[in-house]
Amino acid sequence: MAYTLDQAKFSFSFWERLLYLELLVFHNNPYATPFSMSTPSLLDVFKATGALLDGHFKLTSGRHSNAYFQCAKVLQYPEHLSAVCSRIASHFTGNGIETVISPAIGGIVVGTEVGRQLGVKTIFAERKDGAMTIRRGFSLEPGERVLVIEDVITTGGSVAEVIALIKAAGASLVGVGSVVDRSNGRVKLADDQFSVLLMEVISYAPEECPLCKEGLPIDAPGSRANKQN
């Protein structure tokens, strides 16, 4: 993607601020080297893989935004998948987790890698006739300690449905982990909730969008495969 110099400057400082918030406020971890020249930060990785896009986008809500996050773009590379998931796994290590569960489809890749790193059973829930269900012979037992993993949280709808399944089975919710929280922490799903990246999504009603006024062409990248919930 081509940038003008001014856009590049703006977007860099914008995402830097997000990472700063993420690293300094919400985590206390040895990966906190966002401004080092020698160690690429996760922010660099998100940008380099095209997971973080700057431009002019129509979100699934219909609103317009200058930024978009495509989680799958970074997770397609095994070394990045491993690095991102190790942030989540290390947060929840030592909590006696017995099972990781994810909502299909977006959460499965992240959930499987987090479960692998924690060395625990990993399953997923999926929609059947619109309702989130546990199928394929998977099951949750009363008292089982379960961690929910999602790729992107916006409204938290899918995760909330998985939590309802956990409660219905009498199992125990340990926490919720995700790669990106687009609600910037406003959506509260569990006492122990962790996200690698917190985003503050700036969006506009189409009629008030400054990017439309500039005449910038618009992208609509939010297919259900990249669902933002």
Q: Can you give the binding site for Zn ion, defined by CB under 5 A?
A: 64, 209, 211-212
Q: Which is nearer to Zn ion, 47 or 64 (CB)?
A: 64
Instruction: Answer yes or no: are the C-beta atoms of 126 and 100 closer than 8 Å.
Output: no
Q: How far apart are CA 35 and CA 41, in angstroms?
A: 8
Nearest to 149 by CA among 196, 80, 199, 200: 196
Q: Which residue has the tokens 């409204």?
A: 155
Shortest distance (Å) from residue 158 CB to Zn ion = 27
Q: Which residue has the tokens 């037992």?
A: 141
CA triplet 147, 150, 151: central angle to 5 degrees?
A: 145
What residues does 11 pair with on adjacent strands? none
β pairing state of 145-153 and 131-133: unpaired
Shortest distance (Å) from residue 1 CB to Zn ion = 17
Q: Which is nearer to Zn ion, 14 or 20 (CB)?
A: 14
Q: Which two tokens stand for residue 208?
A: 């008030």
Instruction: Answer yes or no: are the C-beta atoms of 57 and 68 closer than 8 Å.
Output: yes
Look at the chain and count its residues.
Answer: 229
Q: Which is nearer to Zn ion, 6 or 214 (CB)?
A: 214
Shortest distance (Å) from residue 208 CB to Zn ion = 9
Q: Which is nearer to Zn ion, 160 or 212 (CB)?
A: 212
Q: Which is nearer to Zn ion, 45 or 211 (CB)?
A: 211
Q: Which two tokens stand for residue 133?
A: 């269900």
Q: How far apart are CA 120 and CA 10, in angstroms?
A: 42
Shortest distance (Å) from residue 197 CB to Zn ion = 24
Shortest distance (Å) from residue 6 CB to Zn ion = 18
Shortest distance (Å) from residue 204 CB to Zn ion = 6
Shortest distance (Å) from residue 224 CB to Zn ion = 22
What residues does 172 pair with on adjacent strands? 145
Q: Which is nearer to Zn ion, 64 or 80 (CB)?
A: 64
Q: Which is nearer to Zn ion, 55 or 107 (CB)?
A: 55
Q: How far apart are CA 68 and CA 54, in angstroms?
A: 7
Residue nearest to Zn ion (CB): 209
